[in-house]
């Protein structure tokens, strides 16, 4: 499969019309049509449903479109990274982080590293842990900073932070009225809970309650993080969140309490895909994050 033909395929898929795609590619229509037919023959399946006015992708065509986008992105990144290697400590580092980490840990790491290496640039992608790990697995990131758990057979990881899980409630809630800065898990069994929309995270939270012979009353899962805050601000439910959200609550009618009896913790880890060679800049930033976390923990 030719990289050039994959590029042609993506333009045709975007334009949904051979004539317009040929014009965009600055080539004649017949050669482009032949390239698409040859690609279908090579793969042994139709990629397009050819209508009178536009082309639509088959299921196989949609699959190829997603893969082709990743392949071409990796090709371009590889070219840029090789250029970076020739130029010393410069180029772009591709980082994936969860939303809370993007607003708390990561800015400190970037600021410190930028002071040492001002020529390095950054491409930061934020989502939930599952989404970030998926991009790391596909090779679209140099490394990821996420909350555990993760697949230790597929990724190398180092813990860089431990923080308590908390409950976010409206300021008029009985939980908010407590003088203590923590709340026993037993009080949360009576609350309608809002939890992260990640299967592993939901199981973790349910297990907290099961260990105490209680059942978690989960009525809502959220993504992105900000959605839960809006619900709680309207007096709807109590959200389970990491303590690092506290810096986003200024001016809101909300109260954040640590979960106690038992105390439960979230562990943040920095991950790389096993056997992947990083650029000089990415490897230096990875080392910087690990060392900085060791000295501040």
Q: What is the pLDDT of residues 52-99, one digit of tens each?
A: 778 899 999 999 998 898 888 888 877 776 776 656 667 889 999 988
What pLDDT score was predicted for residue 294?
Answer: 77
**Would you say the C-alpha torsion 71, 77, 79, 82 has a positive or negative sign?**
negative
What pLDDT score was predicted for residue 91?
Answer: 82
Q: What is the pLDDT of residues 5-37, one digit of tens each?
A: 999 999 999 999 999 999 999 999 999 999 999
> Element (H or E) spanning 236, and its range?
none
What pLDDT score was predicted for residue 137?
Answer: 92
What pLDDT score was predicted for residue 77?
Answer: 75
Is residue 178's pLDDT more than 70? yes
Residues in the chain, how many?
Answer: 297
Alpha carbon distances (Å) from 165 to 16, 44, 131, 215: 48, 51, 21, 18
What pLDDT score was predicted for residue 129?
Answer: 86
Tokens of 278: 């990083």
What pLDDT score was predicted for residue 295?
Answer: 55
Cα–Cα dist 152/52, whole Å: 51
Percentage above 90 pLDDT, the chain: 61
Higher pLDDT, 247 or 100: 100
Which distant-in-sequence residues (6+ apart) come within 8 Å of 204 by Cβ?
none
**Residue with the two structure tokens 């003088």:** 179
User: What angle is formed at CA 286 by the lines to CA 280 and CA 290, rounded to 5 degrees?
Assistant: 145
Cα–Cα dist 231/224, whole Å: 12
Does the predicted TM-score (pTM) go above 0.75?
A: no
| Cβ proximity of 268 and 161 under 8 Å | yes
Alpha carbon distances (Å) from 218 to 69, 106, 233: 37, 30, 18
Q: Looking at domain 88-160+267-296, which of 3.50.50.60, 3.40.50.300, 2.40.128.20, 3.40.190.10 is its CATH number?
A: 3.40.190.10
CATH second-level architecture of 3-74? Orthogonal Bundle (1.10)
CATH second-level architecture of 162-265? 3-Layer(aba) Sandwich (3.40)
**Would you say the C-alpha torsion 27, 29, 32, 34 has a positive or negative sign?**
negative
Q: Which of 117, 125, 123 is closest to 97 using CA atoms?
A: 125
Once rounded to an integer, what is the mean pLDDT over residues 269-288? 91
Coil/strand/helix, residue 222: strand
Once rounded to an integer, what is the mean pLDDT over residues 182-210? 93
**Residue with the two structure tokens 């923080």:** 163
Higher pLDDT, 52 or 131: 131
Q: What is the pLDDT of residues 156-170, one digit of tens each?
A: 999 999 999 999 999
In this chain, the answer to whether the domains covering 88-160+267-296 and 162-265 adopt an identical fold is yes
What pLDDT score was predicted for residue 224?
Answer: 72
Is residue 250's pLDDT more than 70? no
Cα–Cα dist 100/85, whole Å: 32
Domain coordinates of the chain in residue numbers? 3-74, 88-160+267-296, 162-265
Once rounded to an integer, what is the mean pLDDT over residues 202-227? 90
Buried b (16+ CB within 10 A) or exposed e, 17-56: bbeebbeebeeeeeebeebbeebbeeeeeebbeeeeeebe
């Amino acid at each position: 499969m030719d990289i050039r033909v994959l590029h042609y395929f993506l333009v045709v898929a975007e334009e949904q019309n051979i004539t317009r795609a040929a014009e965009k590619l600055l080539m004649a229509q017949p050669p482009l049509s032949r390239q698409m037919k040859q690609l279908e023959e090579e793969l042994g399946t139709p990629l397009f449903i050819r209508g009178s006015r536009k082309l639509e992708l088959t299921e196989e065509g949609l699959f190829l479109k997603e893969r082709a986008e990743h392949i071409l992105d990796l090709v371009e990144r590889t070219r840029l990274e090789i250029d970076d290697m020739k130029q010393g400590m410069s180029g772009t580092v591709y980082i994936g982080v969860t939303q809370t980490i993007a607003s708390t840990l990561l800015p400190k790491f970037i600021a410190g590293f930028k002071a040492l290496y001002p020529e390095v640039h950054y491409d930061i992608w934020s989502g939930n842990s599952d989404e970030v790990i998926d991009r790391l697995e596909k090779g679209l990131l140099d490394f990821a900073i996420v909350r555990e758990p993760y697949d230790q057979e597929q990724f190398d990881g180092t813990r860089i932070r431990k923080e308590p899980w908390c409950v976010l409630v409206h300021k008029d809630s009985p939980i908010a009225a407590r003088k203590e800065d923590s709340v026993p898990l037993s009080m949360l069994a009576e609350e309608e809970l809002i939890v992260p929309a990640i299967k592993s995270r939901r199981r973790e939270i349910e297990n907290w309650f099961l260990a105490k012979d209680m059942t978690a009353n989960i009525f809502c899962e959220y993504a992105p993080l900000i959605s839960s805050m809006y619900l709680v601000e309207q007096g709807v439910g109590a959200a389970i969140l990491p303590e690092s959200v506290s810096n986003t609550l200024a001016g809101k009618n909300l109260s954040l309490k640590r979960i106690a009896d038992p105390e439960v913790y979230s562990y943040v880890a920095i991950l790389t895909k096993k056997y992947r060679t990083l650029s000089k800049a990415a490897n230096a930033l990875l080392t910087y994050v690990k060392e900085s976390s060791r000295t501040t923990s």
